[in-house]
Amino acid sequence: MTKAINLRLKIWRQKASDAKGAFETYDARDISVDMSFLEMLDVVNERLTLDGREPIAFDHDCREGICGTCGSVVNGRPHGHITATTLCQLHMRHFKDGQTIVIEPWRSKAFPVIRDLVVDRSPLDKIIQAGGYISVTTGGAQEANTIPIPTEQNKMAMDAATCIGCGACVAACPNSSAMLFIGASVSHLALLPQGKPEAARRVLSMVQKMDELGFGNCSNETECEAECPKEISITNIARLNREFIKAGFFSTEE
Amino acid sequence: MTLDAKIPAGPLENKWDKHRFELKLENPSNRRKFSIIVVGTGLAGSSASATLAELGYNVKTFCLQDSPRRAHSIAAQGGINAAKNYQNDGDSIWRLFYDTIKGGDFRSREANVYRLAQISNHIIDQCVAQGVPFARDYGGLLTNRSFGGAQVSRTFYSRGQTGQQLLLGAYRALSRQVASGQVSLYPRRDILDIVVIDGKARGVIARNLITGNIETHVAHAVVLATGGYANVFFLSTNAMASNVSAIFRAYRKGAFFANPCFTQIHPTCIPVHGTYQSKLTLMSESLRNDGRVWVPKRPGDKRSPDQIPESERDYFLEKKYPSFGNLVPRDVASRNVKDQCDQGKGVGETGLAVYLDFADAIKREGKESISQKYGNLFQMYEKITAQNPYETPMMIYPAVHYTMGGLWVDYNLMTTIPGLFAIGEANFSDHGANRLGASALMQGLADGYFIISNSIGGYLAGTRLNDVAVDHPDFRSAAQRSLERIQRLLSIKGKRTADAFHKELGLILWEYCGMSRNDAGLTKAKELVHSLKEEFWNNVIVPGINEEFNQSLEKAGRVADFFEFSELMLSDTLARKESCGCHFNEAHQTEDNEALRDDENFCHVAAWEFNGVDQEPIFHKEPLSYENVVLTRRSYK
């Protein structure tokens, strides 16, 4: 038989962006330790709904840790206390019977709350739109094996490309910086020969957009790396800085 | 109405070339006068949006997630097929075509599948140019892995995250077009209806999921790329929000729905473990490259796997299918797994699981090599089950994963409503009765990058379209009806949540319309679904109001459509009195329990026309003719 536990939840409730929010307390009873964190919230919501109360709004979709939709701050840690794990892959076996769990949304000026635990992360899309791509029009590509890419370089690019855009790095950062997110994108593309022609323009434009959107600067707190569910390394921020300096000094891009 | 698939004449190899030449062209300066709505931002929707925008069309792109990058294509793990023949192992466009047709148990169109195989190579070129980090060998060149249903190694991959990398590639291409102003992005929108004016699709009714506003959007053509309907079963490997609503609304507006009984049940998923469970997790088919599937020989053997000696293990796939072994197609593998569990040889707490064992592969290649290939999958498995697959065999069981059925489309990917197109999993076109692994990504991107961009131009250049504005009475009445339906859901104030209804619906379908089907069960399921639907409309509780962020309301609307859709699915399943691919009707099987096709009577696409609520849909037949392949009994022995 699987074990069940009882929990006390303190959850941030906020009706809308312009409404005032507050913590409310709920009891979650008989929670199987094999449940995921989001399944635990499902159970709570089912109860709330049947009691005629408003269920807790939270974002989620794939529940496999890859789409980047879910994420809340759990006991002060984005995606909870288990490393390299999204909230949907955090299982209740990591909590103790009788424990109090505080659940709140990502806190960042750049991510306004939409409702309860749901925030607006569209600024991350806007940063990608500022240059996080390779300009290749469909149909114009050369034969795929024309340019060999050394495995080590390809591996580093892939490591950076595994970013799921969940925003935990921003939520973890005391400055609400998006440098790890941008660093991952800039590194991934700058490491590949296909991404080199636009590297200078890309990095300048993305960093400028980040500043415009109200994200803070990086002051090497490394909280982002610690909380990233995909373990994106802060060496990507170092590479971002190098690319930025290179672009500023040696390219003709403005 | 006769169904005309508009398949071009001439030899198979030349059809697509010839067709592209014959399609009317819209000149570049004219394209900017047209607007196109694309619904969905998975591989098909994102790639179509980007490519249509590159051509100069004004594209409005909708998705229900907060960002287009979240679409469930992102979760595809294993890889994407292409006929590059980099391995020099005898692959060719013809072989990929043949494997796909055969894998689909001869229930797909030759012309479509051949085109898919032809385009496959361009997809890889395109993705590499976009910066997709496919796996490479030490020389820096692209490498491949094998997948089910094929004896060549033609699958390109990025660790176990191929879907993610391909989707992010398409998302980047889409983002570039958003930046250029050629695509307007509408995230967090549900599509509530398709608006058809003068017989042509001219727009959509959308609900803004943040404000609840009912919006009307006009265009010259509408492309649905909204994925499949696997979530009708409640438990599936699909994302939580994946739904049938947009394509079902299109069906209600006159688009025919093809082969809804074809649902793929994937053999390698993490077994169900509790009634609270919200979804199932796939373990990539690529694991069957190195993992060996087995059960104890003796039914009811409850020893732990390390206590069961080699001689008392039954490697049932290797034994029964010596030439394909563990790499038989998904439908065959799933049925055999179910069979073993039905015999009482299943393992784990519930007895509904079999082992997928990597011990031999780790011994042969070393832990490091296995970890490089499957590291993230092993990690995911351990997170969910708290068991380490490097040390103890994985436990797996089949789960609903993909739907081959979808809106009926012609060779141009246009539905029976002119101006309404369906691409990717939302259409029915290429996979017949069973999709081979690593073919979904190929089809989504072929449709989006290379096919729709040509065929939609042909439609727009060859069709007279009147000016239509959002205040057209048809838009207003469609918006009004959508709002009334929402108000009705909110006003019921019953005693059961939409989720509870959805769970019960899913159990009925899994029981009677799952891996094994019979007429009596299907008839019973129809009654059960019908009465549950009645109860839903009288007893569902949907908290809150429309004019707010209301996830319960979103869910209720989707479940309501799943109810109506499941009745259509059951009708189609009952009508197909043969077994083929994923559709296994117990009355039609060979002596050794393999699917027994009836090519004389059922070598066709079943396309269903809406005939009113609670009315049996009208059946239309598109006969399938095979000029280039010989219909054989699929054998993987």
Per residue, the 3-state secondary structure of B215-240, as one string, reads: EEEECCEEEECCCCCHHHHCCCCCCC
pLDDT tens figures, B538-554: 999 999 999 999 999 99
pTM: 0.97
Bridge-based pairing of strands A100-104 and A4-13 is: parallel
Average pLDDT, integer, range B191-212:
98
In this prediction, the residues of chain A whose per-residue pLDDT falls under 50 are: 1
CA distance B234 to B279: 8
Min Cα distance A169 → chain B (Å) is 17
- Strand stretches in B430-571, DSSP E: 496-497, 540-541
pLDDT at position A138 is 97
pLDDT tens figures, B80-118: 999 999 999 999 999 999 999 999 999 999 999 999 999
Chain mean pLDDT for chain B: 96
Answer whether residue B135 shows pLDDT above 90: yes
Which chain B residues are within 8 Å of A131, Cβ to Cβ? 179
Say whether residue B225 is in contact with chain A using an 8 A CB cutoff: no
Residue B156 φ/ψ region, left for φ over 0, alpha for ψ in the -120 to 50 degree band, beta for the rest: beta
Which chain B residues are within 8 Å of A13, Cβ to Cβ? none
Instruction: State which residue of chain B sits closest to A93, comparing Cα positions.
Output: B386
Query: Could you identify the residue written with the tokens 């293990």?
Result: B313
**Residue count of chain B:** 637
Residue A79 C-beta-side C-alpha neighbours within 13 Å: 30
User: Would you place residue B414 in the very low, low, confident or very high pLDDT band (cuts 50, 70, 90)?
Assistant: very high
Identify the CA nearest to B158 among candidates A222, A231, A66. Answer: A66
| Closest by Cβ to A148, choosing from B84, B141, B449 | B141
Say whether residue B239 is in contact with chain A using an 8 A CB cutoff: yes
* Catalytic site includes residue B252: no
Average pLDDT, integer, range B323-331:
92
User: Would you place residue B284 in the very low, low, confident or very high pLDDT band (cuts 50, 70, 90)?
Assistant: confident
pLDDT at position B433 is 97
Which chain A residues are within 8 Å of B171, Cβ to Cβ? 128
Say whether residue B138 is in contact with chain A using an 8 A CB cutoff: yes
CA distance B31 to A205: 29
Query: Could you identify the residue written with the tokens 């209301």?
Result: B550
pLDDT at position B592 is 85
Which chain A residues are within 8 Å of B144, Cβ to Cβ? none
Residue B35 C-beta-side C-alpha neighbours within 13 Å: 15
Instruction: State which residue of chain B sits closest to A48, comparing Cα positions.
Output: B543
Say whether residue A120 is in contact with chain B using an 8 A CB cutoff: yes
| CB neighbours of residue B127 within 10 Å | 29
Which of B63, B155, B213, B279 to probe by mutation at the A interface, max A CB count within 10 Å? B279
Share of chain A above pLDDT 90, in %: 96
CA distance B513 to B583: 9
H or E stretch including B618?
A: strand B618-623
pLDDT at position B515 is 94
